[in-house]
Structure 1
């Protein structure tokens, strides 16, 4: 039989409660009996002291033990602690004596030892009821005139045996059992309520998890406390918000890919159908147009493939110490002709004079990173214009700034500039031939080596991209 987590928690709490209740009852019963026995012992000590005082007084009055040896009633009066009263008025004393004080009782058909026995100074029994040996008795000295004149023998009893004492202990045991039964019932009720209360957040999390499994990413659970369950609920809600955000991005991603592929495919289809219908001649100009659309499709597919490989960690990269400033200098030299043709100036320090710095990266990926940024400037920067390169280094990092002369990017678009297929102006971007994946690839490359990349408005109103690498 498989128990649910709720049942396990309930049984665990109930077991602990029962152990505590039973332990408390056993301890309380043990100490109650022990303290009662101590109380009986103290009462017994007071009674023995009283008997010793009475026996000493009787000896001083009579001068010897003859009255006690000859009179049972006198012995009973002393045991009842009522000296000087007629024997007819000593019903309580006689009953006390016969209940184990001085008169022999029977136990299981045999005679039991008397509770109290008086011995002379030579330890010979003087009680008129019995003649017993002093062995097995705790002897208390009876003194008169400063001398030992006799001994009071007290037979020790291991446990309270008087009827009232036994009845009291039996009543106490019944009370403890009743209290224990009530405590067990209360423990069951409280444990059930407590387990239900404690596991209520778990039930909410279970329902929320099942909702997420059904792709209802808008699901949230209520955070009702600041304990571990409350933090778990907060983490669950954060996870749900992340999944909801990624779901929106996934849908937007699919829509953007469909849109990006639809346009060149529609152009290809239109031009091919026009050629088939004889509307357009099959000449070099028509073929170059078709070739341009195919290249655009190939660029989108190639960038998507690179992006997926980088983000999945399956991209074949050779990580080794490399100088990013040297790679940037080589990339700038490769782009300088195209910048000159567009009438755009490259403002960069003389990297040959810069002290070499090293980061752990793939040189080809770094070259792709800088190429994408420079390509972005060539496509969307206004001519005449410029791009300015700045470098900051410290013992722990290398920071490279690339700022162009504009046009800038609206403030609300800066955070999404590195998203896949995101374009500030879709129509203008498509006319420039971009795939919308260049900067997304840049972010993936930088983050794959533990760096960071960000965008901000430049001091001249253009776009400022900052790339930061951890330095070796």
Structure 2
């Protein structure tokens, strides 16, 4: 990402994103706390004022009891301030909540005292509503407070107070400013910690991507053995596991490629060496150019052609460009037709064939490719089933699949080699296989064709000795 020509890394962007979220959160919490505190503090002061009015009502009731009327205070601002100002000069405690009257207890008065507050928002009215003292109060957008003045349980006046609309006293303002200053300092300290945490988190989040970047550069340079830590359950851990799986596949494919190239070179060397030696012998006059020499050269060329064709087909299969024309077909008829072609060659090899085929068994597949698969299986049987005198061919329906089994009673292969039969260029006896013209790719091609049809092919040991190859293909589902 470029801003004004400057490259901004993902760590910086992630840090800024986390910091912005932290700042917005801190501002929101700070403003909300300030509003809530100011509102609550003002409510608290109003509650204190209400308790002050109770204490003042008690003091005024005591003065009324002494004078017998309100003449001593009517229009006398000094007396008003003297009696109400006593609240701030004497020790007092709050009366019980909800009790609007003031009680004597042992002859001493019990009332609130809040130093520094005068009666500026208070007024006294007699029972006829006439103003007696204090600043005259009228109803505004906030309701007035009313406190009865009781003498021996009889109301003699009403004390009226206006609620606080804001903070007026210097001490209250100073307290509020101090609280806001402390909150600001705490907020700044919190933001500093948030910035540090954001930086650490950003680096922690980006560290796996940096490791992946370094590892990807190594893979691009040809090092497929590189791996990255993939512990955890988040998306980055999943990405790391997928990366490791990809590099493992690339490493395996590279090993297969090198092995394949080595095998190709090895396989091509033998027929080419024979051709070169034969031609040089004929050129030097050591070997006459007769029918026998031509036949030998033709056989080696045929072997070379088969090898090249097999490699072409296996390469097309790997590339996924093998052309398959899938359509319903009768597998029983296809197997029967191919078997008829191989009965005579097998009879010449003194191998008897026992076949058990249903009349019809429909599956979906490419007729040409499946015929090639069967041809490779028969070829493998004829060339490599050494000592086989009997071959059982069985085709049946099983669990929604067509199952074709080739079982001979020959020498077989070792148990540990059964899983290797379908690997490229694998041979149980390489010298014997080359002598019979095998390329080591026939069964590998069979596996590719079977898998392309959604089927499987596997090898096992025949009961009593020999080799069994089992092909499974999905059956055609009825419409």
Structure 2 spans left out of the alignment, 5+ residues: 91-112
Number of equivalenced pairs? 446
Q: Determine which structure has the larger helix proportion and give its number.
A: 1
What's 2:402 paired with? 398
1:416 aligns with 2:433: no
- The correspondence of residues 260-279 of structure 1 with structure 2, limited to 5 A, is 260-279=267-286
1:159 CA drift (Å): 1.8
Partners in 1 of 2:457 and 2:14 — Cα distance? 49
Pick one of 2, 6, 13 that aligns with 2:18.
Answer: 13
Aligned-residue CA RMSD (Å): 2.5
1:413 CA drift (Å): 2.5
1:166 CA drift (Å): 1.0
1:455/1:464 contact within 8 Å kept: yes
Partners in 1 of 2:233 and 2:54 — Cα distance? 67
2:84/2:118 contact within 8 Å kept: yes
TM-score (ref. length: structure 2): 0.86
What's 2:322 paired with? 315
What's 1:108 paired with? none
Farther off after superposition, 170-179 or 228-237 = 228-237
- The correspondence of residues 274-293 of structure 1 with structure 2, limited to 5 A, is 274-293=281-300
Partners in 2 of 1:169 and 1:134 — Cα distance? 29
- The correspondence of residues 19-98 of structure 1 with structure 2, limited to 5 A, is 19-69=24-74, 71-82=76-87
Alpha-carbon distance change, 287 to 203 in structure 1, aligned in 2, over 3 angstroms: same
Farther off after superposition, 379-388 or 186-195 = 379-388
1:123 aligns with 2:129: yes
What's 2:174 paired with? 167
Structure 1 spans left out of the alignment, 5+ residues: 86-94, 103-113
- The correspondence of residues 356-367 of structure 1 with structure 2, limited to 5 A, is 356-367=360-371
1:435 aligns with 2:439: yes
1:246 aligns with 2:253: yes
1:323 CA drift (Å): 2.1
What's 1:459 paired with? 463
Alpha-carbon distance change, 358 to 12 in structure 1, aligned in 2, over 3 angstroms: farther
1:304/1:437 contact within 8 Å kept: yes
Alpha-carbon distance change, 206 to 194 in structure 1, aligned in 2, over 3 angstroms: same
Alpha-carbon distance change, 84 to 424 in structure 1, aligned in 2, over 3 angstroms: closer
TM-score (ref. length: structure 1): 0.87
1:143/1:150 contact within 8 Å kept: yes
Farther off after superposition, 400-409 or 303-312 = 303-312
Pick one of 184, 194, 208 that aligns with 2:215.
Answer: 208
Partners in 2 of 1:410 and 1:17 — Cα distance? 69
Once the two structures are superposed, residues 131-186 of structure 1 have per-residue CA deviations (whole angstroms, 9 ceiling, x without a partner) of x4656582624344555433323233312222111111111101110010001000
1:187 aligns with 2:227: no
Once the two structures are superposed, residues 94-150 of structure 1 have per-residue CA deviations (whole angstroms, 9 ceiling, x without a partner) of x989x6623xxxxxxxxxxx32222333433322x76x4656582624344555433
1:72 CA drift (Å): 4.2
What's 2:342 paired with? 335
Partners in 2 of 1:457 and 1:411 — Cα distance? 7
Partners in 1 of 2:125 and 2:270 — Cα distance? 128
Partners in 1 of 2:17 and 2:223 — Cα distance? 35
* Runs of 4+, deviation exceeding 4 Å: 70-73, 82-85, 132-137, 145-148
1:81 CA drift (Å): 3.6
Describe the SS at the equivalent of 2:131: coil
Once the two structures are superposed, residues 17-51 of structure 1 have per-residue CA deviations (whole angstroms, 9 ceiling, x without a partner) of 22332222222222222221221121111111111
Once the two structures are superposed, residues 347-385 of structure 1 have per-residue CA deviations (whole angstroms, 9 ceiling, x without a partner) of 221x2xx25222210111111111101100110112352
1:271 CA drift (Å): 1.2
Partners in 2 of 1:133 and 1:277 — Cα distance? 138
